[in-house]
Amino acid sequence: MNIYSILQLCGGLAFFLFGMHVMSGSLEKLAGGNLQKILKEVTSNPIKSLFFGAIVTIAIQSSSALTVMLVGLVNSGIMELAQTVGVIMGSNIGTTLTAWILSLSGIESDNLFISMLKPENFSPVIALIGVIMIMGSKKEKRKDVGIIMAGFAVLMYGMQLMSGAVSPLADMPEFTGLLTTFNNPFLGVLVGAVFTGVIQSSAASVGVLQALAMTGAISYSMAIPIIMGQNIGTCVTALLSSIGVNKNAKRVSIIHISFNLFGTAIGLVVYCIARYAVDLTLFNDSISPVMIAVFHSIFNIATTIILLPFSNTLVKIAKKLVTTDNADGQVVLDERLLLSPGLAVKECLEKTNEMAELARDSFKNALDLFDNYSDSKFDDIEVMEERLDYLEDQLDTFLIHLSGKDVSEGGNNEISKMLHAINDFERIGDHAINMAKLAKQIDDNKLEFSKNARKELTVLNNALREILTLTVEAFSKNDLTEAVKVEPLEQVIDDLTKEIRNYHIERLQKGKCDSRLGVFLTDYITNCERASDHCSNIAVCLIQTHNSSFETHDYLNELKAGQEPAFVGQFTMYQDKYHLDEDYKKAKSKKSSK
């Protein structure tokens, strides 16, 4: 084996890893939105978790990536530790699919149909179809399918290069002599673990073993321990990802390592009994790529069946091994979720929806303080405001990082929407705490608004409650029908605040209102007006994400000029609903009768 063969082997491995990376990235992009739904349905039932773990691993083609994702989900508090056990076990089964696909390389037949199953025959066709879909399709999902097909073809080409590079090894006595040292099962496990840990891909490690098996120089006694060791080596990625996370997230990696160590120990015991006690001659025969895939599957399925009843024991072991917590407390969004952009977008939406509800509730609670003040309610509003500030800071940083990832067009729209909205929700929370402080000052000074002022503010408060509810409903449900109702109501609130100011000045001039309340009333009205402005910003942003050609300023100018019939109808409806004048309805009825 010369330098060119070594370069070909390394190049083949590089193509293999790159093809798998491209393929898994596009698979996750297509399934990303559904991954969250799947993981959310995972319960503490290990059987159900097992099934989901296998499905998700098949979808993203990487058990290591799934475990890293689980570390991030647990660190963010999205999943509980017990829920991950079955998922980890299922991921070991799901990862065997790659070995079965690669085993097709060993097919030998004169039958046209069977020979077409060989990757070297069908992968060029898949590559051609994939490139046509990438270059010719305008739809993003079809392009992603094309990228998956092209990635698969690159992966299979890498496998061919590796097979071609190692084929001369069969005739080299030095190589054959080296392989005899692998007859020691413990050394075989070590080699499998180290090699897999270095390249951080059990699928690629199995692929290299299958390529070597095509030379005919690899026996069952050599291959089986290496396959067992590969399961240990795949834990390295998850182990590295657990650095700097909370104790529960660290325990996910411990469960992964414990499961694979116990599985390998059981497998070694069975192997040694079969080889040395029973003395099966099969172990001296050459192993084929297909039989590597068969044993890989049998080993992972068998260890899962054996250890599944001990899921709770694995959790207890992890808790005993990880007792201290040197990392910071639970984070809102773990950076490991960035490995799965589709899932990350969904989690960001959940946190942004939490912000929306907090902003709405905090402002409504602040309005209630003016009718019935209590220190406990004031403290609750402060807690909500602190949570809003924290969420806004975490989401802003995370979304900026997420925007640089390979996200679908729909995902990019969601990111843009959230980046605009989180600041508005946080500002509504700021106005809520301002209102709460006003209520506290009024209560401390034993002041009270006049009867007319209270009546006017009640109308304004009701309008504020409705616009907050409309905005949160529109945002959380991505409902354009609700969003278009916000701007007309915001215009009515603007008119209300102007009228309340005018009436307040009149009362001050006539001596009907306590002058000490003048500043409080002005601040009250200003905070309400600003909160409704932020609701308008959120609604306009929602409309903009539904229409890429939408221009915010033109839209608002048209509405204010009364050029939009739907706006005029909604505005009139809200004007009828929220008004200050006692004779307003009478004036409206007289006008309509003329």
Per-residue pLDDT reduced to its tens digit, 465-503: 999 999 999 999 998 889 989 999 999 999 999 998 888
87-106: average pLDDT? 80
Residue 584 binned pLDDT confidence (cut-offs 50, 70, 90): very low
Position 561 pLDDT exceeds 80: no
- Expressed in angstroms, the distance from the first to the final Cα of the chain is 102
Candidate ranges 54-58, 249-253, 555-559; pick with highest mean pLDDT: 249-253
Model pLDDT, residue 459:
93
Three-class SS of 403-443: HCCCCCHHHHHHHHHHHHHHHHHHHHHHHHHHHHHHHHHHH
Q: Which residue has the tokens 């390295």?
A: 236
DSSP 241-309: HTTTS-HHHHHHHHHHHHHHHHHHHHHHHHHHIIIIIS--GGGGSBPPHHHHHHHHHHHHHHHHHHHGG
- Please list the residues that pair with 286 across neighbouring strands: 219
Distance CA 594, CA 586 (A): 13
Model pLDDT, residue 329:
52
Residue type (1 letter), 413: N
Query: Structure tokens of 20?
Result: 């798998």
Position with higher pLDDT, 203 vs 549: 203
Half-sphere exposure of 215 (CA within 13 A, CB side): 22
Model pLDDT, residue 31:
63
CATH class of 449-580: mainly alpha
Position 115 pLDDT exceeds 90: no
Per-residue pLDDT reduced to its tens digit, 150-172: 888 887 788 777 777 766 665 66
- What mean pLDDT value characterizes the chain? 81
Position with higher pLDDT, 536 vs 196: 536
For the beta carbon of residue 507, count every other beta carbon within 10 angstroms. 18
Distance CA 66, CA 56 (A): 8
Position 565 pLDDT exceeds 80: no
75-86: average pLDDT? 79
CATH number of 340-446: 1.20.58.220
Q: What is the model's pTM?
A: 0.70
Per-residue pLDDT reduced to its tens digit, 360-419: 999 999 999 998 889 999 999 999 999 999 999 999 999 999 888 878 778 888 899 999
DSSP 382-407: HHHHHHHHHHHHHHHHHHHHHHTS--
552-566: average pLDDT? 59
CATH 1.20.58.220 residue ranges for the chain: 340-446, 449-580
Model pLDDT, residue 585:
47
